[in-house]
């Protein structure tokens, strides 16, 4: 579905990632972990056209994404939820969701997708006329994810979906991500809560200093002693 091959990218200065390889199949949940500054978020931004690609390729269903504008990438079937949620604080929940469905020409398509999101996230339905800024952090994160799902993406990119959330809400968010993947949307995420992310992931990649260090199934990486010592806080 997505193939990142020998990717080197920067923000106009020194290279941040070097010869990175990431591959995702349809319906998978794949997590990228590693220390701060490893280049994890840069991979997501590179997919979404927000970095300077020095070399390598990013293929989505065997077609290159390099050089495409963000709105064209969305139309190809990829949506990105950046770190910090980035919702429209002074808009209502429904207005936020409608903004997510901007590529739909037909109002009926927007209404249909709204109902699907409200079924997936009942809390959003209960607060659809409430301003986004008055919601809890967990509800805002669900809104950000719901807004991205308004275009029915084939691939969802998530940058630190658990940041700033209580353990209970984090579990709820990850359970929703499992439901989303089972419904056919693959997920590629960067996550600080590596233990939980790998538990829910089909596969994972470990990055270090902008390079691939390790890869494997979520379960295998959780059992890996080196991964446990360096990134999961295990003694």
Q: Looking at residue 230, what is its pLDDT?
A: 72
Q: Looking at residue 7, what is its pLDDT?
A: 98
Topology of domain 2-77+154-231, per CATH? Rossmann fold (3.40.50)
Rounded to the nearest 10°, the torsion over CA 108, 113, 114, 118 is 150
Per residue in 197-214, is it b (16+ CB within 10 Å) or e — as a string? bbebbbbbbbbbebbbbb
Q: Looking at residue 234, what is its pLDDT?
A: 63
Which is more confidently placed, 38 or 234?
A: 38
Mean pLDDT of the chain: 92
What is the residue extent of each domain of the chain? 2-77+154-231, 89-152
Reply yes or no on whether the pLDDT at 207 is more than 80.
yes
Place of tokens 């209404």: 111
Are the C-beta atoms of residues 161 and 80 closer than 8 Å to each other? Answer: no
**Rounded average pLDDT over 60-72:** 95
Q: Looking at residue 235, what is its pLDDT?
A: 54
The token pair at 90 is 């002074």
> Quick one: pLDDT band at residue 106, thresholds 50, 70, 90?
confident
pTM over 0.85: yes
> Quick one: pLDDT band at residue 110, thresholds 50, 70, 90?
confident
Specify the range with the lowest mean pLDDT, choosing from 57-66, 166-175, 225-234.
225-234
Q: Looking at residue 233, what is its pLDDT?
A: 64
Reply yes or no on whether the pLDDT at 46 is more than 60.
yes
């Amino acid at each position: 579905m997505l193939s990142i091959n020998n990717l080197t990218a920067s923000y106009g200065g020194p290279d941040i990632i070097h010869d990175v390889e990431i591959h995702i199949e349809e319906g998978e949940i794949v997590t990228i972990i590693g220390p701060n500054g490893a280049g994890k978020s840069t991979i997501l931004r590179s997919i979404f056209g927000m970095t300077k690609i020095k070399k390598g390729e990013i293929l989505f269903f065997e077609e290159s994404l390099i050089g495409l504008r963000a709105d064209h990438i969305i139309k190809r079937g990829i949506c990105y939820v950046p770190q910090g949620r980035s919702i429209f604080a002074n808009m209502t929940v429904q207005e936020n969701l409608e903004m997510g469905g901007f590529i739909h020409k037909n109002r009926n398509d927007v209404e249909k997708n709204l109902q699907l999101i409200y079924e997936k996230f009942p809390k959003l339905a209960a607060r659809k006329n409430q301003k986004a800024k008055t919601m809890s952090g967990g509800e805002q994160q669900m809104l950000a994810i719901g807004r991205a799902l308004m275009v029915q993406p084939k691939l969802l990119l998530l940058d630190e979906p658990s940041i700033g959330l209580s353990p209970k809400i984090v579990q709820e968010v990850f359970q929703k991500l499992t439901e989303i993947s089972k419904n056919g949307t693959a997920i590629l995420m960067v996550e600080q809560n590596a233990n939980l992310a790998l538990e829910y992931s089909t596969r994972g990649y470990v990055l270090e200093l902008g390079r691939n260090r390790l890869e494997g199934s979520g379960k295998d990486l959780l059992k890996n002693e080196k991964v446990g010592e360096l990134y999961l806080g295990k003694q």
